Amino acid sequence: MGRVRRIARRSFLIGSAAVVGGVAFGVWQVSRPVENPLRPERGATLNPFVIVDGDGVTVIAPRAEMGQGIHTTLAALVAEELDVEMSDLRVLHGPPAQAYYNSALLRGELRYHPEGLGGWRRVMADALGAGSRVLRLQVTGGSTSTLDGYVRMRTAGATAREALKEAAAQAHGLPRDRLATDRGHVILPDGTRIPYGDLAEAAAAVEVPEVALRPASEWRLLGRSQPRVDAVAKSTGTARYAIDVRLPGMRFATVRMCPHPRGGMARFDAARAEAMSGVDKVIDLGTGIAVVAHTTWQAMEAARAVEITWTPGPGPQTTADAFAEIEAAFDTRRNARPRDDGDVDAALEGADALSVEYRVPFLHHTTMEPMGAAALFDPAAGDGPHLTLWSGNQAPILHRDKAAEAVDLPPEAVTLHTPMMGGGFGRRAEFDFTVLAARVAQAAPGTPVQVTWSREEDMRHGFYRPGAIARMRGAVTDGRVEAFDAKVAAPSVMRQSSRRFSGFAPPGPDRAHLEGIADQPYGFASCRVEGYLCETALPVGFWRAVGNSFNGFFHECFVDELAHAAGADPLAFRLAHLDDAPSRAVLEAVAEMSDWTGATPDGIGRGVAITRSFGTPVAQVVEVADDGGGVRITRAWVACDVGRALDPAIIAQQMEGGLIQGLSAAAYEEITFDDGQVVQGNFPDYTPMRLPQGPRVAVRILESGGHMGGAGEPATPPAMPALANAVFDLTGRRLRELPLARHIRFAV
Amino acid sequence: MPVTLRVNGQRHDLDLPPGMPLLWVLRDVLDLTGTKYGCGVASCGACTVHVGGQAVQSCQLPVGDVWDEVTTIEGLGTPDAPAPIQAAWIAHQVAQCGYCQSGQIMAAAALLAEVPDPSDAEIEAALALNLCRCGTYGAIRAAVRSAADQMREA
């Protein structure tokens, strides 16, 4: 069981929550197989998850709120044990601190299939330095946040509750077990209600034994949809994002960096920009410039007016060049072969084999809040310079340390605040925007700067979901898959991000590259999956569902082709091959929800797909219609099994949101390259799905128990093949290249 | 350039560079940060405000061309006293990341002021410019519909 410790200080500053005369409760879980190297006897810092003071109860969330609703679920986990109303809680982001490491990224519990899932977590751990540095893994990703908080947030709440009861017990000379708690109060046997805040200071001085957690049968919040803790702020314009940070004397800045990946800046002439109204200064950032001005608009106008000569990068000049690099990877040494069951070659030999190639494009995250951060470099703060950052990020320790390095300060001299994030989807794990803000602030010492990227800068300086190619072969006999043979080539997200995060790339197989194709719950007579990696100068990164985002498309379109070759109904064909009960159950559920018959009238097409990623099988049926004005995505049905659903409404939001992001990518989205740079710059060129194009969506959540799967990512991978399969059903055209808008006309 | 602006019922006499879009006056001069920057080219709707009750993308409206009183999300309602459309947004738990929602709400509010009982097509047309990356479109449709019902009953 976990160790429980308290922090009790008269004044305790954490993030923006100052605890005066209050008490903060922290807890962590010693988890296996990874030892927790934090040892209190060695004086390691303990950070609180719950603060109780005169102002009430504050939950410090170890994970980033990017829209996925995690703050609400983490707060509910605390509230369940602490007996406090959700509406009386405040939730803040945790500061960079090792106690907020993501335990679930390393724990075995997410492992749902022996060969599944482990991949990206393991590589991430390598990338960030496992072993002694395991606690640097303060990362929000991999759809792990709920699992990560499941025990420790409840333990923090239970510990706080018992400490408050003990404080009341001592004050009134009663045994603790005669006291109760209810809605933020300790209740004495005579009915007297004492607010938690009144007991907080005394609670700091009591000893609390380890507390058993309440069984699920007694839960009153968990398992039921809670009002989101951020709903009011986000509906009234009062939620504060990094872009909204305003400080006295603040200046507004923007950057204009070399648009050629790994290119540079030969020279620049800022004379015209510096003469423009409201411009304070133009900063030389080596591979680009920043402009500091009185308003963001003046900064952006001036940045455009700087005359810059760029030097090209070593990367591909065009999209064709980029895909030639990927294609060439098939001729290099294989990186991984995680599956080789049965004799694929023998099964393909002589059979009427299907042999096809799929391609998916590079994609951009396009968070609605563009990249940027606010920063203040104080050159003479007490012991020396201090940097304060406000950055919406998914990896606080990483961002803080990289920013510190960039301005030549020790990490202790950097304070990083994490405000709300206007979308993340993986983009905010990268630290480039935090580092640039730090460097701009360093060049404007003593002045708080709000550094906002233009949308064009954001879109042309992404870490893109890589383009990928799959070569698939397969054979069916009597309705059964005899051979399934997949080769996937793409730039390696893991290797690139590892180099950026830690300076080296772990050698060996890149399992994340094959997640979603090597680990799917199908039983084929023979199955072989191979991965090929290409080095590229193009920046690639984590995009919602990572490797699953392309492998789900390859796998589930090809299964559809095999079903068609077998003359079978694609849904029944999948059911006949799935060897996992929860996966079959979600497929059966979606069949029932959509009244799947296998037949569609003229002008209507339906496609089905099922993928299992991040511990959660998700099945989807997508319906398209063509009324003469182009193809319209009319309806979609989603069934998932998250094992145990802590907040059904939030999970349903993630299922619908993940579906929409997948449909949007499959239908419309594509980053292309020309002249060694990204062509698309703004929404007119890279247009995600808009409201009139979105389908009506129904979601059903199954709970088979026994595991806790993710919610944020698993609905994205099946959406892309389900749509392509629906288009096949509608048009008879098997489109093996995304986005589909390259080949068919969608209704506006 | 001297400019007089009425925003959320308050008069501001400002000296601003000509051509500066209303969005940046709101955000960087008046500190009304509820209105968001998303694209700067009037193609995402995050910056939607009302000018004289009409939904306008403020990133492309030079402040000198503002013809009437401006209402921003902060002027529509507050956390303690949300406007009916905001209450519907809260009840339907629309927001995920929330960044686009100020613009969505302002576009929806302008629609309902003009069309109390909009058809699905009218809702789609009114919100077609407002991008959301989290996929909240279904919840937005539901919230607009229920706000319309509530406002007509009230």
pLDDT tens digit sequence for A534-572? 999 999 999 999 999 999 999 999 999 999 999 999 999
A113 and A184 within one domain = yes
**Residue B18, CA distances (Å) to A306, A528, B94 in order:** 20, 65, 37
Task: Please check whether residue A519 is in contact with residue A296, taking contact to mean a CB–CB distance below 8 angstroms.
Answer: no
pLDDT at A119 over 90: no
Cross-chain residue pair B95–A230, CB shorter than 8 Å: yes
Q: Residue for token digits 């009953």?
A: B153
Res. A50 pLDDT band, cuts 50 70 90: confident
Q: If DSSP codes are grouped into helix, strand and coil, which group holds residue A272? A: helix
B127: contact with A, CB 8 A cutoff: yes
For residue A93, what is the DSSP state? Answer: E
Cross-chain residue pair B74–A300, CB shorter than 8 Å: no
Domain containing residue A379: CATH number = 3.30.365.10
pLDDT at residue A153, as a whole number = 86
pLDDT at residue A1, as a whole number = 26
- What pLDDT digit, counting tens, does each position of B68-87 carry? 999 999 999 999 999 999 99
pLDDT at residue A26, as a whole number = 52
Which ranges of A428-580 does DSSP label H, i.e. alpha helix?
Answer: 432-442, 455-460, 493-502, 548-565, 570-577
B96 CB neighbours in chain A (<8 A) are 67-69, 653, 657
A632 and A566 within one domain = yes
Range of weakest confidence among A68-77, A196-205, A416-425, A679-688: A196-205
Asked, for residue A323, whether it belongs to a domain, the answer is no
Nearest C-alpha in A relative to B120: A692
Domain boundary among A460, A488, A509: A460
B124 CB neighbours in chain A (<8 A) are 691-692
Nearest C-alpha in B relative to A299: B24
Share the mean pLDDT of chain A: 88
A340 and A420 within one domain = no
Task: Please check whether residue B97 is in contact with residue A422, taking contact to mean a CB–CB distance below 8 angstroms.
Answer: yes
B39 CB neighbours in chain A (<8 A) are 455, 682-683
B140: contact with A, CB 8 A cutoff: yes
pLDDT at residue A111, as a whole number = 30
A572 and A432 within one domain = no
Nearest Cα to Cα of residue A226 among A115, A79, A398: A79
Task: Please check whether residue A440 is in contact with residue A283, taking contact to mean a CB–CB distance below 8 angstroms.
Answer: yes
Instruction: Tell me how many domains chain A contains.
Output: 3
Domain boundaries, chain B: 2-74, 76-153
- What pLDDT digit, counting tens, does each position of A54-109 carry? 777 888 887 788 898 989 999 999 999 999 999 888 888 776 665 566 655 544 33
pLDDT at A15 over 80: no
Mean pLDDT of A704-708: 83
Question: Please, what is the Cα angle at A386 between A384 and A390, to 5 degrees?
Answer: 175
A418: contact with B, CB 8 A cutoff: no
Interface test with A, best of B96, B119, B122, B129 (most A CBs within 10 A): B96
pLDDT at B97 over 90: yes
Interface test with B, best of A250, A691, A693 (most B CBs within 10 A): A691
A360 and A293 within one domain = no
pLDDT at residue A64, as a whole number = 81
Q: Which of B38, B40, B41 sits opposite A368 (nearest CB)?
A: B38
Q: Which of A235, A238, A244 sits opposite B89 (nearest CB)?
A: A235
CA A718 to centroid of chain Cα atoms: 17
| CA atoms of A182 and A200, how far apart (whole Å) | 16
pLDDT at residue A99, as a whole number = 55
A76 CB neighbours in chain B (<8 A) are none
Range of weakest confidence among A140-149, A288-297, A357-366, B96-105: A140-149
Q: Which domain range does residue A446 map to?
A: 249-313+366-460
The count of CB pairs under 8 A between chains A and B is 183
Which ranges of B36-93 does DSSP label H, i.e. alpha helix?
Answer: 73-76, 84-91
A273 and A175 within one domain = no
In the stretch 688-727 of chain A, residues with CB closer than 8 A to chain B read 688-692, 694, 696-697
Cross-chain residue pair B40–A682, CB shorter than 8 Å: yes
Asked, for residue A319, whether it belongs to a domain, the answer is no
Question: Own/partner pairs for B112-117, CB < 8 Å, 24+ apart?
Answer: B112/B85, B112/B144, B112/B147, B112/B148, B112/B151, B113/B53, B116/B148, B116/B151, B116/B152, B117/B148, B117/B152
A243 CB neighbours in chain B (<8 A) are 33, 36-37
pLDDT at residue A131, as a whole number = 32
Domain boundary among A205, A221, A237: A221
- d(CA B121, nearest CA chain A) in Å: 8
Fold classified for B76-153: DNA polymerase; domain 1 (1.10.150)
Nearest C-alpha in A relative to B124: A692
Cross-chain residue pair A696–B136, CB shorter than 8 Å: no
Nearest C-alpha in B relative to A234: B98
Q: Which of B29, B40, B124 sits opposite A454 (nearest CB)?
A: B40
pLDDT at residue A100, as a whole number = 64
Cross-chain residue pair B133–A278, CB shorter than 8 Å: no
pLDDT at A656 over 50: yes
B76 CB neighbours in chain A (<8 A) are 236
A139 and A270 within one domain = no
A259 and A203 within one domain = no
Domain boundary among A416, A437, A460: A460
Asked, for residue A668, whether it belongs to a domain, the answer is yes
B1: contact with A, CB 8 A cutoff: no
pLDDT at residue A708, as a whole number = 82
A682: contact with B, CB 8 A cutoff: yes
Asked, for residue A418, whether it belongs to a domain, the answer is yes
Asked, for residue A287, whether it belongs to a domain, the answer is yes
Asked, for residue A235, whether it belongs to a domain, the answer is no
Res. A22 pLDDT band, cuts 50 70 90: low
- d(CA A714, nearest CA chain B) in Å: 14
Asked, for residue A234, whether it belongs to a domain, the answer is no
Residue A732, class by beta-carbon neighbours within 10 Å (0-12 exposed, 13-18 middle, 19+ buried)?
exposed
Phi, psi of A480 (to 5 degrees): -115, 145
A298 CB neighbours in chain B (<8 A) are 17, 20
Q: If DSSP codes are grouped into helix, strand and coil, which group holds residue B46? A: coil
A532 and A393 within one domain = no
Q: Which helix (H) or strand (E) holds A721?
A: helix A716-731
Q: Residue for token digits 């006291």?
A: A179
B128 CB neighbours in chain A (<8 A) are 690-692
Task: Please check whether residue A222 is in contact with residue A77, taking contact to mean a CB–CB distance below 8 angstroms.
Answer: yes
pLDDT at A211 over 90: no
- What pLDDT digit, counting tens, does each position of A219-249 carry? 999 999 999 999 999 999 999 999 999 999 9
- d(CA A562, nearest CA chain B) in Å: 32
A579 and A438 within one domain = no
Asked, for residue A241, whether it belongs to a domain, the answer is no
B43 CB neighbours in chain A (<8 A) are 682-684, 687
| CA atoms of A408 and A427, how far apart (whole Å) | 25
B131 CB neighbours in chain A (<8 A) are 368, 683, 688, 690
Mean pLDDT of A633-638: 98
Mean pLDDT of A595-608: 96
A528 and A547 within one domain = yes
Question: Own/partner pairs for A37-44, CB < 8 Å, 24+ apart?
Answer: A37/A131, A37/A132, A37/A134, A37/A135, A38/A98, A38/A99, A38/A135, A40/A3, A40/A5, A44/A98
In the stretch 51-110 of chain B, residues with CB closer than 8 A to chain A read 72-74, 76-79, 82, 86, 89-90, 93-102, 105
Res. A29 pLDDT band, cuts 50 70 90: very low
A83 and A171 within one domain = yes
Domain B2-74 class, CATH top level: alpha beta
